Copies of this chain bind each other. A is one copy, B any other.
Amino acid sequence: MTVESDESFGDVTPDAARRLLLGAVEAFAERGFHATTTRDIAGRAGMSPAALYIHYKTKEELLHQISRVGHESSVRVLEEATSGDRTAAERLASAVRAFTRWHAEHHTTARVVQYELAALSEPHLAEIVTLRRRSEEILRGVLRDGTETGEFAVTDLRGTTLAMMSLCIDVARWFSPDGRKSPDELGVLYAELALRMAGHAPSEVTSSSG
């Protein structure tokens, strides 16, 4: 198991702290949070347990940092993908494409973040839940806009939002770089499926005029 890219943790400094996060993601993904020791993480980062302790006091602190950076990164992706003066359909397609691609590209980190939530301390979990709500709000806002403009036909706004989030997030569970689709190809398919889920029917306008 290799961590797919350093990109998620690229902003983390110093370099030793970043390497420890990568080691922790790798270890948590392979063995699970509870079966991983800080010694194991330090070893993967080529460091001693004492050196790890300078940067992170506990294993939970590492998990918290991974979850925070991961969630902040995916929220940013959604914000960027939904900005600008475009139709709701365009924003939905670009949001789902980018969110799907993110979960494919960062599948190992995303898996750890999703599967080990229960291992976070209560205050840390609360912080992460706030970030997750933010993602949900962004997507729900786009679906609401499109429903108001008549672009979409969404009957269950909350349920449809959660289903779309879930569809994109679950990519992290099964995605493999050896699979048939690249992260972006998968994003394109999922954007089309999301438009369908939203009841977006681009052809209706023209067909009803005929």
Chain A residues in the interface with B (C-beta under 8 A): 30-35, 114-115, 118, 155-156, 158-160, 162-163, 166-167, 169-171, 173-174, 180-181, 186, 189-190, 192-193, 196-197, 199, 201, 207-208
Contact of B32 with A189 in the complex, beta carbons under 8 Å: no
Known: A163-B193, A170-B170, A196-B196. 13 other contacts (CB 8 A): A31-B32, A31-B35, A34-B34, A35-B35, A160-B189, A160-B193, A162-B174, A166-B167, A166-B171, A166-B174, A167-B167, A169-B170, A169-B173
Q: Which residue of chain B has the shortest Cβ distance to A163 in the bound complex? A: B193
Q: Which residue of chain B has the shortest Cβ distance to A207 in the bound complex? A: B208
Chain B residues whose CB sits within 8 angstroms of the CB of A158 once the complex forms:
180
Contact of A189 with B170 in the complex, beta carbons under 8 Å: no
Chain B residues whose CB sits within 8 angstroms of the CB of A163 once the complex forms:
167, 189-190, 193
Chain B residues whose CB sits within 8 angstroms of the CB of A173 once the complex forms:
114-115, 166, 169-170
Q: Which residue of chain B has the shortest Cβ distance to A162 in the bound complex? A: B174
CB<8 Å pairs between A and B, sample of 18:
A31-B32, A31-B34, A32-B32, A32-B34, A32-B35, A33-B35, A35-B35, A115-B115, A155-B192, A156-B189, A160-B193, A162-B174, A163-B167, A169-B170, A170-B170, A193-B197, A196-B199, A207-B208
Q: Which residue of chain B has the shortest Cβ distance to A160 in the bound complex? A: B193
* CA of A160 to CA of B194, assembled, Å: 11
* CA of A208 to CA of B207, assembled, Å: 9
Chain B residues whose CB sits within 8 angstroms of the CB of A160 once the complex forms:
189, 193
Q: Which residue of chain B has the shortest Cβ distance to A29 in the bound complex? A: B118
